[in-house]
A = this chain, B = another copy of it.
């Protein structure tokens, strides 16, 4: 008997989210065609790391880039450098910023940096939030898309206005671009066009790009030089980072041009969800490859319904469900390579079933 969403998802015929399993094959595929005689990077030096950093700097339109084992490390370091430069230990970001909710307060515990929270849990940061800040800050961090609220985005003109305001007022602007590539089709911009608005940029390799781990931090030469010193202080300057670098490059080359497909699929799939009784997506029309699916009912009520749909139709719509309160729950959808392989007829059928089950249960 299949009792959990994860189990049902694993056994389903078609899976709607992600690129595939996170297993050792991801590494094997990336290294299959790599010559064993290729030298390791050594403490941040060597062709394998330097070439990739140059490639990413060029792609992002920045002077220099440095490869980090994680975005957590890269972004805290960016904040610290900007704070030290302005001699003001204060930064501003969204209340659901990764640094605020997923890093055990590393920014505060390691750097004693204070934070100003802009906007709220329902919306992204707008120009007005920045202009009306009552305290000065060294840096403003914007996350594109704002992951924890379904991957919402500000209008591109808003980004331009915030950038201009920050430059005029001596506030550094940092891009949490963990999912930067995923928003380019909506903005109809290149990565370097978006990055031009920011002083420093972080990009992750294991979201839409589908690598194993690792991140790039990019900016001007002096900023990157300083970040390398901090990388060593953090213990992030590993003797060999090539397992992440080579896989990052492999999947970057393989997936970066597929972002318009993922975005298109996300919009298509969101329509299916929104066609179901008591199911809504946030945003209603996705602006990247991701969105959240919300139910105005308890996790205990919704889980059996999702399980039944997956078991009956063979369509693995999702592998988990998270309660947000006593009578609400949600999950996150992130489109990758798997969606390209699903049978459209099976998907259509799965959502007809979901709608039917939701109606039967909640129509009174």
The reply to whether A235 and B233 form a contact with Cβ atoms under 8 Å apart is no
**Does A3 sit within 8 A of B, measured CB to CB?**
no
A59–chain B nearest beta-carbon distance, Å:
22
The answer, among B31, B42, B233, B237, for a CB contact under 8 Å with A24, is B31
The reply to whether A104 and B233 form a contact with Cβ atoms under 8 Å apart is yes
A44–chain B nearest beta-carbon distance, Å:
12
Q: Which residues of chain B have C-beta atoms less than 8 A from A110's C-beta?
A: 110-111, 233-234
Stretch touching chain B among A32-40, A155-163, A336-344? A32-40
- How many interface residues does A have (CB within 8 Å)? 51
Q: How far is the CA of A242 from the CA of B229 in the complex (A)?
A: 26
Q: How far is the CA of A25 from the CA of B242 in the complex (A)?
A: 12
The reply to whether B24 and A242 form a contact with Cβ atoms under 8 Å apart is yes
Q: Which residues of chain B have C-beta atoms less than 8 A from A105's C-beta?
A: 233
Q: How far is the CA of A35 from the CA of B27 in the complex (A)?
A: 11
Q: Which residues, 154 to 190 on A, are CB-close (under 8 Å) to B? A: none
The answer, among B26, B40, B234, B242, for a CB contact under 8 Å with A235, is B234
28 A-B pairs within 8 Å (CB atoms) are namely A22-B39, A22-B40, A23-B38, A23-B40, A24-B31, A25-B36, A25-B37, A26-B40, A27-B242, A28-B31, A40-B212, A72-B232, A72-B234, A72-B235, A72-B237, A74-B235, A103-B232, A103-B233, A104-B230, A104-B232, A106-B233, A106-B235, A110-B110, A110-B233, A234-B234, A234-B236, A235-B236, A243-B243
